[in-house]
């Protein structure tokens, strides 16, 4: 496994979190350049939102922004990896204090009761896109933010979801529901790395950066270890750190990985809230 160090490596997680919240940062590329601004300026908002490995510190989340983020009505459709993320959100909400990792979180501070994560299973990548379209149309009055994630099994080997199908569906949703927030996601990783995953994720990153979209880069969050080192296999494909999963050919998150992604989701909702919450 090859370790690609970014131009600047911040060993402390809190510094990575502040990088996400500093004004004037630019979206990162695969080399690990500066990433993820949380500036609240109109210019930043117009360039979209990118949540990546620099956005995993709870200490960097402004206290005053938490209630606004918690008030957002969020729908996320997912499969088994999403169940782990749901577990992580419950943990930081103070609902799993019997777990060692949960004892650091006070009950009620990170209240995600309005964030609904639903397991819709693994019907295939196309059906997942169609499901998001259906859910957004039928439940548009129930939620402010809509999103779904593909699973690592949707891009094993050289296989990958059809980019044009996904892009067209997301663009149409944004056009049809301009008062709602649609979040684009990269595909989560495995420990051994998948070329199809990297190919699709590169398209998501490039397009969303150019078009000013809201993107949750779970792959970037997973492929950086806690020291800020980017991990890849011998072919250069991104891999999830062993700190966040016990699996090799899969990518289900362990407790540490679940809380890491939960922290990034809180950064995402804070960014959405402070740059202009959707109209209800």
Q: Where are the domains of the chain?
A: 2-274
For residue 164, which of 199, 131, 203, 198 has the smallest C-alpha distance? 203
Q: What b/e sequence results for 139-168 when a residue is b if at least 16 CB atoms lie within 10 Å of its CB, and e otherwise?
A: ebeebbbbbbbbbbbbbbeeebbeeeebbe
With contact defined as beta carbons under 8 Å apart, do 33 and 26 qualify?
yes
What pLDDT shows up at residue 99?
Answer: 81
With contact defined as beta carbons under 8 Å apart, do 32 and 231 qualify?
no
What pLDDT shows up at residue 44?
Answer: 39
Q: What's the predicted TM-score (pTM) here?
A: 0.85
What pLDDT shows up at residue 108?
Answer: 87
What pLDDT shows up at residue 27?
Answer: 36
For residue 253, which of 149, 159, 107, 124 has the smallest C-alpha distance? 149
Give CA torsion, residues 6, 11, 16, 19, to 10 deg: -60
- Low-confidence stretches of the chain (pLDDT beneath 50): 2-19, 22-45, 277, 279-280
Report the relative pairing of strands 74-78 and 230-232 from DSSP bridges: unpaired
Candidate CATH numbers 3.40.50.1110, 1.10.760.10, 3.10.105.10, 3.55.40.20; the one for domain 2-274: 3.40.50.1110
With contact defined as beta carbons under 8 Å apart, do 267 and 55 qualify?
yes
């Amino acid at each position: 496994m090859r370790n690609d160090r970014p131009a600047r490596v911040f060993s402390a997680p809190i510094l990575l979190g502040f990088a996400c919240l500093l004004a004037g940062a630019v979206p990162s590329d695969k080399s690990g350049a500066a990433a993820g601004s949380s500036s609240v300026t109109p210019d930043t908002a117009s360039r979209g939102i990118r949540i990546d490995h620099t956005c995993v510190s709870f200490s960097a989340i402004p206290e005053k922004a938490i209630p606004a983020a918690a008030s957002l009505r969020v729908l996320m459709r997912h499969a088994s990896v999403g169940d782990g993320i749901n577990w992580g959100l419950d943990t930081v909400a103070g609902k799993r204090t019997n777990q060692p990792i949960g004892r650091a979180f006070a009950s009620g501070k990170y209240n995600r009761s309005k964030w609904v994560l639903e397991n819709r299973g693994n019907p295939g990548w196309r059906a997942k896109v169609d499901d998001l379209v259906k859910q957004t149309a039928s439940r548009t009055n129930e939620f402010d933010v809509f999103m779904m994630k593909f699973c690592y099994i949707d891009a094993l080997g050289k296989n990958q979801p059809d980019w044009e199908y996904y892009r067209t569906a997301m663009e149409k949703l944004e056009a049809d529901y301009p008062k709602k927030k649609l979040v684009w996601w990269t595909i989560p990783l495995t420990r051994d790395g998948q070329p199809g995953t990297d190919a699709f994720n590169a398209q998501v990153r490039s397009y969303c950066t150019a078009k000013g979209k809201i993107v949750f880069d779970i792959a970037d969050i997973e492929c950086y270890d806690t020291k800020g080192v980017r991990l890849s296999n011998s072919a250069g494909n991104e891999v999830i750190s062993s700190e966040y999963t016990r699996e090799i050919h899969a990518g289900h998150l362990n407790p540490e990985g679940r809380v890491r992604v939960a922290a990034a989701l809180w950064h995402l909702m804070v960014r959405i809230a402070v740059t202009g919450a959707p109209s209800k």
